[in-house]
Amino acid sequence: MSFSDDLARFAAKCEKRANTIVRKVVLDVGVSVVLKSPVGDASYWKHPPPPGYVGGHFRWNWQYGEGTSPSGVKDGVDTSTGGSLTIGAIVQELPQQAAGKIHYISNNTVYGPRLEDGWSRQAPHGMVGLTVVEFQGMVAAALGEAGA
């Protein structure tokens, strides 16, 4: 074994660990905002819901993007326990080679800012701001799990 071989193995190990850590942090951010997202329950509302309203549309619209923020609003809803449909969609799109890239988790619904500002009884403190507060802990946990 040469020094060059040792260095190549070390680099491969570091790259694998970096990808694992970045994937975990991005996924933890996605899970956090999804779990904090309200799934509308019109029985709490002061006014009747708009025609055709179905809860879970906001939760379903958390989208993952690599390099650029996703645009548009997706049709559909996620009323699953724990947001498993939305989280599954994020996992499916999150690349294995995640290190060194810019990752976005965004929601483009027009009422998202209102929800973030406490409009919902289910999420009176929003989702994104709370996740930002938790972010450093997510990074620390991912580093710890990876033995870094």
b/e for 25-36, b at 16 or more Cβ within 10 A?
Answer: bbbbbbbbbbeb
Question: What is the C-alpha separation between 137 and 32, in angstroms, rounded?
Answer: 12
pLDDT, averaged across the chain: 93
pLDDT digits (tens, 9 = 90+) for 42-65: 777 778 887 877 789 999 999 999
The domain limits of the chain are: 16-145
Contacts of 69 (CB under 8 A, 6+ apart): 104, 106
pLDDT digits (tens, 9 = 90+) for 105-131: 999 999 999 999 998 888 999 999 999
Q: What is the model's pTM?
A: 0.90
Give the model's confidence band at 147: pLDDT under 50 very low, under 70 low, under 90 confident, else very high.
confident
Which of 79, 70, 131 is CA-nearest to residue 102?
70
Say what the pLDDT of residue 148 is: 66
